[in-house]
Structure 1
């Protein structure tokens, strides 16, 4: 438009463009306007208008707002995140509007089913968590009702199994294909359903009431209101309303029993006299389910009008069941002998088991009190008691304790693993068995350990001290300080005399010098006498023959020479009647010189054999 105005104004200005040019431009603008008005004209008439910046400016002014809006809309379509946000903002409202049309549910159902199946296959735990609040109470209720019916059936079956009537009922169960418990309940259950109330859950109004002809009751509307109030009171009192848990399931007052079965829209309450069988509850559940199936829409839209439920009475009336007990018959006193005998036998068996259990406990307690015995297990296996643990070989024998507790040995199996106990009493027995102290030695146990008193030979004291060094850590302390050393004078004389003898040798010679025969005879006689004295005193004795050599020559040669000299002397002692088992040899070489030095006299003094007397093993 501005281009047209400028072109028109230029026609009036002197010195403007030629009129032919102005006419051409005006014609071109008119053609462009025609093209904008009728786009089909663009196919027949080509554009004659050259590019004009003013025309572009005019377009920007006229359609700038629409162009910006189109660009923003195009960005939303091109960007997936912005497009998703835009669709998500209107999706709830769209679903709300579409839900009014049933076609929406039919269209979405296959997609929802596939998505649910994929979710369950990927993570079944999610569906478990969703169904747990609903299925958990239902399963627990079903299990409780089943257990109640099973216990009732078992109780009745045991009660009537040992009688003629029970035998007749077993034949009936076999003939009809029913279980014995069902037949017993059918003949012995005493109950009567007096009233049935069908009450709406939301508003507590009575939908239907069915009663026996001879049953007495108050206003049914008032009773239904009270039942609803009790159910709500229980839920509110124990915070079970939001959790979706059911209300009162069973309520008993004397002979009167109230059973309630709840459904999605209504609950059915039965007033019963006596003890009904479990099958009655199943009958109530079936009736309530049938009511919900047949009157679903009236239950959902119930606003107080009970006209749609006028025929519900016919559906509930079959639940007014009753069962009377058969007349009791008198039985012969002999019929009670069988159960009494069985009961007496059971009592005797239980009594024997109790007595045996007490005796075994006393036996185990006696074992645990004994030092050196550790009981680790005691249980009954295959009709026998198995007692296992650790036992020191010096501890008391379990058979001795078993006889004192009067337990039948054939009912006990002992399994003991050996070990060494550090109990002071066991250590005292071990010292007496190992050291074999003489009669003059007394070993006693006290709070500080074990104390030895009396008198003993030196050899026994040496052996006792050597044994105490081998005891493990944690063993009781053994005190030998109170013992007195007692030595026999003949033993001391012979001991000193033998150890004072020295047999001399020539240089580099293994046999004694010729002038040593008398010395050898004296040593042999003293050794024989010493052995006799040791046997009289009842203690072992040993003589060690020690060979020596001077320091001349090689050390290895001197050591072999000294050992050879000791062996030669032992052979000479054996020839002179000395017990060879009491003799031992040792070669000292030049390591134990009698007179250190290098003179001939000192070397001669070191070419010798000496004797060492020891006691003990």
Structure 2
């Protein structure tokens, strides 16, 4: 007994001996306690560790900054480089395609919102996802609950909880009196942690992607919902919750996850960026409507021309050239050509004025009678026969001046390209000078029929041919030819001199009307 007492006194009888005895087993005791009674050990040591860390951070700020600066600089540089590569890749694809629907949708959204197209594309390329929701006991920095499954609670969740608590304490102490000292977010590479806090708890949300504008409001609402149910357990938190409460808290944090993500049951669905698509749709509908209206107008105009053509579909008018050109914008119907007599011309003018949708009639029809009617040349075949006769007469030296003029005019039409442009302006000007000189040089009683033609493949050939004839008649009048000696009309795609599609059909021909 005396020996045992001596041994016991040697181990605990004095402070140095007691310290030496505890030192031998302290490490093993803490290690075994951390395995078998982790929660109690954590609850007991957390305040001490937290206070120590706070004090060391406060007392060694310069040393910490000096140590962290090289590492932080490299991390930030690498993160920025990676982010820029991802940004370039995400934007390059839609930008590369000019006809990309997503690019046009982004352009319309940008126009409607006043933002840049790149900002819209960047926002769409970063879908917001909530990965985890953590509930942290603010005084101790201990993790109270995690929205992940119980067997999926990562070790870094506890480390993140402790880190956030330390950061909040540091911010409060460092910025006391200047701001509220509350850190609301931390960036980790492509992840972010958003934080909402109360006196006893912190709600931390680990996310990726571009956060919505109302995220802070969502966090506060979720924190209030969780705090209202778990105020007492959080207040009395000692390191761990009973298994049943832990499961219930996990379910509540899962609901909070959905609430923050905007996918909670009954919540209003997230609005998609449909403004640009809606504008694009309206523009498409407008274009379709415009084309449909134009086609309808052209059809209605052609109906007027067809009704006018039925008025001369009689044996009396056969062989007399006529053209009709209806302008739907001002409801004007222009008629030009030759009539068999004055009575037929008056009857035609009256009939044109009675056609629906005709407001006014521009009547430029010359009636023919007596000898003039018998000497008219209404067809190409008749003209060809007369030219042949003139050639025979010419070989005998007996061709009169008018016949010479008729032959020359028939062989020298004015050629056109598209619409009202000359095929060769210089050649056309020279030919117009020659025609004007022929007409004015001889004091003879005849008129010139200026007939415009178009190719059948051209749009609205009748109107195009009339415009060409008007252009040539105006050019002749400007060269001294009296307008009363010209009869102007357009015959559309009639009397082709080449297969359809050939530019030779686009011309203005000259004929002697009568002598």
TM-score range for the pair, normalised by the shorter chain length: under 0.3
Give TM-score, length-normalised by structure 2.
0.25
Considering only CA atoms, is the larger Rg found in Structure 1 or Structure 2? 1
Give TM-score, length-normalised by structure 1.
0.21
